[in-house]
C-alpha cells in the first residue's frame, strides 16, 4: 500500500516493461502503479499482492484509474543526453563535410541567428514538441551563447513539460571561433554563463527544478584555458551539471593533444570539469586510462552512434566501456545526427557495435577484421536509453520503481499508421520489446507522461514553420 503521507493522483494498470539493471528485462503483467500529486511513484502492486483487487476497485470508483488495453503497454520515457537545440533547422544538411568545415560553414552561422528571439521561439517549440512526440521525456541541450535565447529554450521545455538540462554555450578562442559568434573573452563568457544559471533556476514555475542549468564549454578547441578553468570553478560553486564534447574525432582529439599535451579527459579533469554531474559527448578516442579517470570521477558518456558515423572517424568502444563500469546513455546529437528519435539511436548503437565486432574491410581475413566481443543487443541499448541515461544524470527516472518519477510512454500496438503486427508472433516479452525498439513510430506513442502529467494534447498541436 502507498505511504499514508502521499495523496494518490492516479493509478495505471496494465503491462509495464523496464530494465532497471543491465542484463535483465523486468516485465510487470497486470501491474497497478500509483502516482502521487508530485508525479512520484509511491506504489507498485501485482495481482499476487493481497490488496491489489481492493486498491484497483477503489481507484476505478474514484475515477483515477487509467486502464491499458490488451494492445497497449508502458515503458519508461527516453533520455537523450546530447542535443544541439539551435541546430534543429540544420538536420540532414551537409553531413558529407569534415566536422571542422561543417561547423564553420554551416553550424556557427546558423547558431549566430539566435539573437532573433522570434526565430528561436519557432525553432525551439518545434524541436521540443517533436522530441516529446518521439518519446524523449528528458533532454540535455546545448543552446547558443545568447543568454535570452538560452533562457527561452529552458522556458519552452518548462511550458511544454519536458524534463530538461539546458546550457548556454561558452566559446571564446578567436583562433577557432568566428568573430561574429564567440564570447568577447573569458571574463565575459563566465559572467554570461553565471547569469544564465541564475536565470534558468529562477524561471517562473521551475520551483521543482524540472529544468536545470548546465555549464557548457562547447569543447576544448573553442575555449581558452582561462575560460575552461573558470567554468570548472563556476560548476563547483553553483553545483551544476557540466556538458562538453570529448575526444570526438581525429581532428578534435589530435588538436587537444597538440595544444595541451594530453587527452581531453585528463585536460577536463585538470580544469575541474570532470565530476559526477559531467556528461561527455562521444568520447570515441578515449584510452583505458581515460576510462579509469571517467569511472573514478563518476562522470557519464553520451554515446551518439548516428552522428559518430558522419564525424567521428571511428566507432565508440561501447562494450569495452560497459565492461569497465562506465556510466553511459544515448544521444541523438541533433543535428550531427539527423534523427530526433532515441529509438533510432538504440538501433544505431546495436548496428555500430556489430560493425566494430565484425569489421568492415572485406580485404582483411574475417578473423582479423574486427574487435572480438564488441557487440551489444537491443536490450542493452534499451537500458542505455532509459535507466542508463537517467543514471548518467543522477535523475530519479528511467524505471517503474517506488520513489522514481513517473516519466512514461504508453505504446499502442494497433495504430493504423504503424501496426506492430509482430506482436501476434512474439514468442516472449523480449521479442515484443525488440519489435517495439526496432519498429516504433511516433504514432505508436499514444501518451507521454513527465512527472505524472500527460503531455499529449500539448505536443500534438502543430508547431508551426521554422
Q: How far apart are CA 145 and CA 136, in angstroms?
A: 24
Report which DSSP code applies to 140: E
Q: What integer pLDDT is reported at residue 308 of this predicted model?
A: 94
Task: Determine how many CB atoms are found less than 10 A away from the CB of residue 301.
Answer: 30
- Sort strands 72-76 and 408-412 into parallel, antiparallel or unpaired: antiparallel
Instruction: Examine the pLDDT at 185 and tell me if it is beyond 60.
Output: yes
Task: Write out pLDDT tens, residues 329-370.
Answer: 999 999 999 999 999 999 999 999 999 999 988 899 888 888
| DSSP result, 439-460 | H--GGGEEEEEETTEE-HHHHT
Q: How far apart are CA 373 and CA 319, in angstroms?
A: 8
Cβ atoms of 294 and 274 within 8 Å: the answer is: yes
∠ CA 419-423-429, nearest 5°, is: 140
Instruction: Examine the pLDDT at 214 and tell me if it is beyond 90.
Output: yes
Among residues 251, 228, 216, the alpha carbon closest in space to that of 84 is found at 216
Cβ atoms of 160 and 128 within 8 Å: the answer is: yes
**Proportion of the chain above pLDDT 90, given as a percent:** 88
In the block, cell 584555458 appears at 225
Cβ atoms of 214 and 243 within 8 Å: the answer is: yes
Task: Write out pLDDT tens, residues 239-298.
Answer: 999 999 999 999 999 999 999 999 999 999 999 999 999 999 999 999 999 999 999 999
Among residues 343, 101, 149, 120, the alpha carbon closest in space to that of 93 is found at 101
Whole-model pTM: value is: 0.96
Averaged pLDDT for residues 121-133: 97
Among residues 408, 312, 327, the alpha carbon closest in space to that of 77 is found at 408
Instruction: Examine the pLDDT at 458 and tell me if it is beyond 80.
Output: no
Tally of helices (H runs) and strands (E runs) in the chain: 18, 17
Report which DSSP code applies to 11: E
Residues 6 or more apart whose CB falls under 8 angstroms from that of 24 comprise: none
**Proportion of the chain above pLDDT 70, given as a percent:** 95
Among residues 335, 337, 326, 372, the alpha carbon closest in space to that of 353 is found at 372
Binning pLDDT at 50, 70 and 90, where does residue 6 land?
low
Cβ atoms of 375 and 319 within 8 Å: the answer is: yes
Q: Would you call 464 helix, strand, or coil by DSSP?
A: coil
Q: How far apart are CA 336 and CA 334, in angstroms?
A: 5
Q: How far apart are CA 139 and CA 166, in angstroms?
A: 8
Binning pLDDT at 50, 70 and 90, where does residue 466 land?
low
Report which DSSP code applies to 107: I
Q: Would you call 37 helix, strand, or coil by DSSP?
A: coil
Amino acid at each position: 500500500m502507498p505511504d499514508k503521507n502521499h495523496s494518490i493522483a492516479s493509478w495505471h494498470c496494465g503491462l509495464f516493461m523496464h530494465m532497471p539493471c543491465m542484463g535483465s528485462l523486468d516485465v510487470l503483467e497486470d501491474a497497478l502503479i500509483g502516482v502521487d500529486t508530485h508525479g512520484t511513484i509511491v506504489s507498485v502492486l501485482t495481482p499476487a499482492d493481497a490488496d491489489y483487487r481492493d486498491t484497483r476497485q477503489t481507484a476505478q470508483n474514484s475515477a483515477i484509474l487509467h486502464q491499458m488495453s490488451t494492445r497497449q503497454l508502458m515503458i519508461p520515457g527516453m533520455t537523450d543526453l546530447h542535443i544541439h537545440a539551435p541546430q534543429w533547422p540544420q538536420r540532414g544538411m551537409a553531413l558529407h563535410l569534415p566536422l571542422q568545415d561543417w561547423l564553420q560553414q554551416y553550424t556557427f552561422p546558423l547558431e549566430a541567428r539566435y539573437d532573433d528571439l522570434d526565430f528561436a521561439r519557432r525553432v525551439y517549440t518545434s524541436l521540443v514538441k517533436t522530441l516529446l512526440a518521439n518519446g524523449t521525456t528528458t533532454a540535455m541541450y546545448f543552446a547558443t551563447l545568447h543568454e535570452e535565447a538560452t533562457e527561452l529554450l529552458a522556458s519552452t521545455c518548462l511550458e511544454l513539460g519536458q524534463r530538461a538540462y539546458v546550457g548556454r554555450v561558452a566559446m571564446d578562442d578567436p583562433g577557432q571561433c568566428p568573430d561574429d559568434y564567440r564570447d568577447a573573452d573569458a571574463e565575459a563568457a563566465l559572467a554570461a554563463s553565471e547569469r544564465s544559471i541564475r536565470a534558468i533556476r529562477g524561471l517562473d514555475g521551475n520551483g521543482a527544478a524540472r529544468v536545470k542549468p548546465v555549464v557548457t564549454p562547447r569543447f576544448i578547441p573553442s575555449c581558452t584555458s582561462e575560460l575552461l578553468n573558470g567554468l570548472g570553478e563556476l560548476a563547483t560553486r553553483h553545483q551544476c551539471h557540466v556538458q562538453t564534447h570529448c575526444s570526438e574525432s581525429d581532428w578534435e582529439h589530435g588538436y587537444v593533444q597538440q595544444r595541451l599535451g594530453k587527452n581531453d579527459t585528463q585536460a577536463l579533469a585538470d580544469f575541474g570539469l570532470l565530476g559526477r554531474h559531467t556528461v561527455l559527448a562521444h568520447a570515441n578516442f578515449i584510452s583505458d586510462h581515460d576510462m579509469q579517470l571517467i569511472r573514478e570521477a563518476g562522470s557519464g558518456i553520451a554515446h551518439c552512434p548516428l552522428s559518430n558515423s558522419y564525424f567521428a572517424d571511428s566507432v565508440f568502444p561501447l562494450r569495452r566501456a560497459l565492461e569497465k563500469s562506465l556510466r553511459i546513455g544515448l544521444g541523438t546529437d541533433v543535428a550531427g545526427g539527423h534523427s530526433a528519435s532515441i529509438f533510432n539511436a538504440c538501433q544505431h548503437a546495436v548496428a555500430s557495435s556489430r560493425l566494430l565486432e565484425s569489421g568492415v574491410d572485406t580485404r582483411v581475413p574475417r578473423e582479423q577484421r574486427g574487435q572480438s566481443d564488441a557487440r551489444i543487443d537491443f536490450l542493452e541499448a534499451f537500458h542505455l536509453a532509459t535507466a542508463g541515461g537517467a543514471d548518467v544524470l543522477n535523475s530519479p527516472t528511467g524505471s517503474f520503481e517506488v520513489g522514481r518519477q513517473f516519466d512514461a510512454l504508453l505504446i499502442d500496438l494497433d495504430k493504423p499508421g504503424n501496426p506492430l503486427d509482430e506482436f501476434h508472433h512474439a514468442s516472449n516479452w523480449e521479442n515484443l520489446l525488440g519489435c517495439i525498439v526496432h519498429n516504433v513510430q511516433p504514432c505508436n506513442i499514444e501518451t507521454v507522461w513527465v512527472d505524472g502529467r500527460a503531455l499529449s494534447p500539448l505536443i500534438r498541436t502543430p508547431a508551426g514553420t521554422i
